[in-house]
Amino acid sequence: MPAEFDPSKVAIVFVLGGPGSGKGTQCARLVKEYGFVHLSAGDLLREEQSRPDSQYGSMIAEHIRDGKIVPMHVTISLLRNAIEANLKKYDNASRPGWGHGHGRFLIDGFPRKMDQAIEFEESVCSAQFVLFLHCTEEMMLKRLLHRGETSGRIDDNAESIKKRFRTFEETSMPVVDAFRKVGKVAEVDSMRDVDNVYAEIEKVMEAKLIQH
């Protein structure tokens, strides 16, 4: 069976990087300047977790606290539903890159595990490329502890962060490496300030994003 969405109409960019590398921050800017819809897998999972009649609430909360990857069928169906809803919402809108089945998405924090990558590309939509934000653990730890002062997230504490770093190295980096092998990764150094990182990302978008 072919993938559900046609990549010649639906542009998907995966945004990957360690916890605290700046994915959410940079995606917010890209939304404003390129007309992307930003789908953060983590945000969608947190939303599902707090939905009162969700059957997955406690399972998601446990996985997030321990920095573990939620089983892919849950995350993929949240993403798939969000893609469909946004294509519908903007089908007749005059948003750049949208209308008549066209759209563009930043999928942030996904795929975090090899099975998610394979299943999503086979059954939902193939991605144009992966934007990979590179940052040291030392810097990410500093940023996350600072974010934790106000985020209210159950995983922005030293113990959870340590687990998230381990999952990132063991489970998520192999995904980046697999995309790198097929020439689909654009890497940006995200150690610098937000404006400088964004300037590098803009160059990547100009060079790599295919606008239909």
Q: Tell me the helix, strand and coil percentages in the chain, rounded to 5.
A: 55, 15, 35
User: Taking the complex as a whole, how short is the minimal distance between the CB of residue 23 and Mg ion, in angstroms?
Assistant: 5
- Residues of 102-111 as b/e, b for ≥16 C-beta within 10 angstroms? bbbbbbbbbb
* Parallel, antiparallel or unpaired: strands 129-134 and 103-108: unpaired
Please report, in angstroms and rounded to a whole number, the separation of the first and last CA atoms in the chain.
24
Residue 208 interface partner, choices ligand ADP, Mg ion, ligand C5P, none, CB cut-off 5-8 Å depending on type: none
Burial class (CB in 10 A: 0-12, 13-18, 19+), 133: buried
Q: Which residue is nearest to ligand C5P (CB)?
A: 42
Total of residues contacting ligand C5P (CB under 6 A)? 17
* Residue of 112, 130, 135, 185 that binds ligand C5P (CB under 6 A): 112
In this structure, what token pair is assigned to residue 121?
């590309």
Binding to ligand ADP by residue 208, rule CB under 6 A? no
Nearer to Mg ion, 23 or 102 (CB): 23
Q: For residue 150, which amino acid is it?
A: T
Task: Supply 190's token pair.
Answer: 């995200």
Cα(86)–Cα(72) distance, integer angstroms: 21
Q: Interface with ligand ADP includes 21 (CB under 6 A)?
A: yes
Binding to Mg ion, residues 11-70 (CB under 5 A): 23-24
Residue 18 is a binding residue for ligand C5P (CB under 6 A): no
Convert residues 77-96 into a mask of x (bound to ligand ADP by CB under 6 A) and - (unbound): --------------------
Quote the CA–CA distance of 87 and 103 in Å, as a whole number: 6
Q: Which is nearer to Mg ion, 24 or 57 (CB)?
A: 24
Among 25, 54, 123, 128, binds ligand ADP (CB under 6 A): 25
Binding residues for ligand ADP, per CB under 6 A?
Answer: 17, 19-25, 143, 146-147, 190, 193-194, 197
Q: List residues binding ligand C5P (CB under 6 A).
A: 19, 40-42, 45, 63-64, 67-70, 75, 109-110, 112, 155, 164
